[in-house]
C-alpha cells in the first residue's frame, strides 16, 4: 500500500508507478466535493469542476516556463531534453498514486493532465534520464543508474506544528488569527535565504489548506547535494521539538547576527499580532506554559499571583499588558542578579523573554522535506483535494495581507467564468476574469519574470565563455 510518506522514501523509488491506497480516499473525495461544490447557479460535480479548471484556468504556459528554466527556447545553450527528465506524480480518484510521470513538453503535460484530471499534482526532481524510461537503466553500474541530478531547494511549514501555540483551532484549522504565524515564517525564511545565502528566486505558495511551501529556484540551489540541503535546513532549525511541555531551542550563548535579525521581526509580531490574537496570557493554562521559561521560581509565583487576583485595571489588550508586565519584572530581576554578581542568573533571565518569543513564533520546519533531492512536493496552482482551494503563490513582501479566506475554490472560479463577459477575446488566459488574477500577477511579477531574465543571462554567459575560451583549432 502506498502512503504519502512512502512517496518520498528513497527506498521506494523503484516500486511500480501505479499504486492504490484507500486510507483517506473517502475523506479526500468528500472534502473536494464539499469545498468545491458549485453555487446554486451551477450544478457541477467535482470531476466536472476539475475538468473545467484544468481545461480553462490552470496556467500551463507559465508553469512550463518555470520548470523549463529557459530550456524551452531556441537559445544555442538550451537543453531540448531538460523538461522531459522532470518527475511528476498524479494522485487520481481513490488515492491512486502515479509516480515517475514525465512529459516531452508543455503540450504533452497539458494533454495528460486534461485526460487524467488528477486530484493532486506533485513535482519531483530532474533525473539523469526521463523517469518513464527508468526501467531501462535498472541493474546498470552506478554511473548509469537512474538518479536525481537537480531539484529546487524546498521548505514546508505546517500550522499543525503550532497547535501548542494556537488557541483559535487545531489540526486542519486555519484562519486570520493564526495566519500571522505563517506570515512570520515566510518573512524570516525569505530574508534569511536572500540575505544569508544570496538566493534571488524564491517562490512562496499557500498549500491550499493549512501551510506554506517555498521553492528556491536559483541554479545553484537546484544543484545542491543532499548534505548541502540538510546543512541549509539545519541553519534555520532553531525549533527542535518539545520536551516536558516546553519547546527545545537551538540557541547559542551569543546570538548569531541572522538570529538577532530574526528576533527583531519575531518580537514585534509576537507583541502586535500573535499574543493578542491567540490570547496567550488571558487564562491560567496558557500563561503557566509561558512562565515555564522564566528560571526564577519566585518571579513566576509573583506574576501568577498578580494575574490570578483579577484586580488589575487594564486599558487595551490584557495579553499585551501582561507581556509588558512580565518583561519589566524580568528586567528588574536581571538587574538585581547583576548587582549581586550572579552573572549566570542574570544571563538566564535576559534570555528568558527571548526564548519565549522564539519558542512560540520562530518557523517550525518539516526538516525531512528540505533534506532530500528526491522529495515530492505539491505543485503550485493544483487543487487541494480536501478543501477545493487553489494552491496560490504568495508575495512574501505582502505575506501579512494574504487572506486565506479569500483563496479561490474550483466552484468559485467556475462560477466567475460563467459570469465573465461573453465577448471576451477568444485568445488569452481565462484566469484574468476570475479571482486567480491576483495570484497569477504575483507569480509573474514577484517570481517568474526575474527567473526568466536570470535564465537567459546565464545561457548568454555560457555562450560568451565558450567563445572566449582558447582552443587548439586552427
Distances in whole angstroms, Cα of residue 330 to Cα of each of 231, 298, 300, 327, 352: 35, 11, 10, 5, 8
Of residues 156, 190, 296, 395, which has the active-site annotation?
Answer: 156
Of residues 87, 122, 152, 354, which has the active-site annotation?
Answer: 87
Answer yes or no: 296 catalytic: no
Q: Which helix (H) or strand (E) holds 202?
A: strand 202-206
- Interacting residues of 409 by C-beta distance below 8 A, sequence separation 6+: 35, 36, 387, 388, 389, 390
The Cα–Cα gap between 448 and 456 comes to: 12
Q: Which helix (H) or strand (E) holds 206?
A: strand 202-206
- Interacting residues of 471 by C-beta distance below 8 A, sequence separation 6+: none
CB atoms closer than 10 angstroms to residue 199: 19
Cβ-count burial of 347 within 10 angstroms (0-12 exposed, 13-18 middle, 19+ buried)? middle
CA dihedral 129, 130, 133, 137 (to 10 degrees): 10
Answer yes or no: 30 catalytic: no
* Residue where the block lists cell 516500486: 15
Q: Where are the beta strands (DSSP E) in 62-136?
A: 86-92, 96-101, 120-127
Q: Which helix (H) or strand (E) holds 240?
A: strand 239-243
Helix (H, G, I), strand (E, B) or coil at 243: strand
Answer yes or no: 158 catalytic: yes
Look at residues 106, 107, 103, 144 and name the one whose alpha carbon lies nearest to residue 126.
103
Q: Which helix (H) or strand (E) holds 377?
A: strand 377-378
Look at residues 374, 368, 369 and name the one whose alpha carbon lies nearest to residue 128.
374
Of residues 72, 158, 277, 296, which has the active-site annotation?
Answer: 158
Retrieve residue 90's grid coordinates: 498524479
Length of the chain: 474
Look at residues 167, 178, 246 and name the one whose alpha carbon lies nearest to residue 209.
178
- Residues annotated as catalytic are 87, 156, 158
Amino acid at each position: 500500500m502506498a502512503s504519502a510518506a512512502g512517496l518520498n522514501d528513497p527506498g521506494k523509488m523503484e516500486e511500480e508507478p501505479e499504486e492504490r491506497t484507500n486510507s483517506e480516499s473517502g475523506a479526500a473525495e468528500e472534502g473536494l466535493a464539499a469545498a468545491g461544490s458549485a453555487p446554486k447557479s451551477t450544478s457541477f460535480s467535482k470531476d466536472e469542476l476539475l475538468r473545467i479548471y484544468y481545461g480553462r484556468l490552470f496556467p500551463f504556459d507559465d508553469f512550463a516556463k518555470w520548470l523549463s528554466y529557459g530550456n524551452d527556447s531556441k537559445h544555442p545553450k538550451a537543453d531540448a531534453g531538460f523538461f522531459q527528465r522532470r518527475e511528476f506524480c498524479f494522485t487520481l480518484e481513490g488515492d491512486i498514486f502515479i509516480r515517475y510521470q514525465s512529459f516531452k513538453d508543455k503540450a504533452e503535460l497539458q494533454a495528460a493532465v486534461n485526460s487524467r484530471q488528477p486530484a493532486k499534482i506533485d513535482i519531483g526532481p530532474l533525473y539523469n534520464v526521463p523517469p518513464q524510461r527508468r526501467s531501462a537503466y535498472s541493474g546498470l553500474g552506478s554511473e548509469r543508474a537512474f538518479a536525481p541530478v537537480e531539484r529546487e531547494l524546498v521548505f514546508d511549514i505546517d500550522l499543525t506544528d503550532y497547535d501548542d501555540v494556537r488557541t483559535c483551532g487545531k489540526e486542519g484549522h486555519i484562519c486570520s488569527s493564526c495566519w500571522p504565524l505563517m506570515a512570520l515564517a515566510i518573512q524570516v525564511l525569505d530574508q534569511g535565504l536572500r540575505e544569508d545565502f544570496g538566493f534571488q528566486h524564491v517562490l512562496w505558495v499557500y498549500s491550499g489548506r493549512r501551510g506554506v511551501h517555498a521553492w528556491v529556484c536559483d541554479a545553484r540551489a537546484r544543484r545542491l547535494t543532499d548534505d548541502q540541503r540538510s546543512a541549509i535546513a539545519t541553519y534555520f532549525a532553531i525549533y527542535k521539538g518539545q520536551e516536558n511541555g516546553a519547546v527545545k531551542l537551538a540557541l547559542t550563548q551569543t546570538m548569531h547576527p541572522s538570529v538577532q535579525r530574526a528576533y527583531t521581526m519575531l518580537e514585534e509580531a509576537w507583541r502586535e499580532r500573535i499574543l493578542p490574537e491567540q490570547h496567550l496570557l488571558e487564562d491560567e493554562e496558557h500563561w503557566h506554559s509561558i512562565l515555564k521559561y522564566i528560571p526564577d521560581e519566585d518571579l513566576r509565583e509573583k506574576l501568577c499571583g498578580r494575574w490570578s487576583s483579577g484586580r488589575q485595571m487594564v486599558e487595551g489588550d490584557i495579553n499585551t499588558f501582561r507581556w509588558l508586565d512580565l518583561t519589566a519584572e524580568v528586567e528588574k530581576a536581571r538587574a538585581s542578579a547583576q548587582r549581586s554578581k550572579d552573572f549566570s542568573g542574570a544571563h538566564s533571565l535576559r534570555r528568558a523573554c527571548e526564548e519565549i518569543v522564539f519558542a512560540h513564533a520562530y518557523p517550525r520546519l518539516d526538516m525531512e522535506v528540505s533534506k532530500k533531492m528526491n522529495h515530492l512536493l505539491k505543485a503550485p496552482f493544483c487543487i487541494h483535494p480536501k478543501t477545493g482551494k487553489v494552491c496560490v503563490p504568495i508575495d512574501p513582501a505582502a505575506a501579512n495581507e494574504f487572506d486565506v479566506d479569500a483563496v479561490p475554490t474550483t466552484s468559485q472560479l467556475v462560477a466567475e467564468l460563467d459570469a465573465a463577459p461573453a465577448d471576451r477575446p477568444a485568445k488569452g488566459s481565462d484566469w484574468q476574469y476570475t479571482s486567480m488574477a491576483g495570484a497569477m500577477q504575483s507569480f509573474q511579477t514577484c517570481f517568474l519574470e526575474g527567473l526568466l531574465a536570470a535564465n537567459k543571462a546565464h545561457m548568454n554567459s555560457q555562450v560568451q565563455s565558450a567563445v572566449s575560451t582558447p582552443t587548439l583549432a586552427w
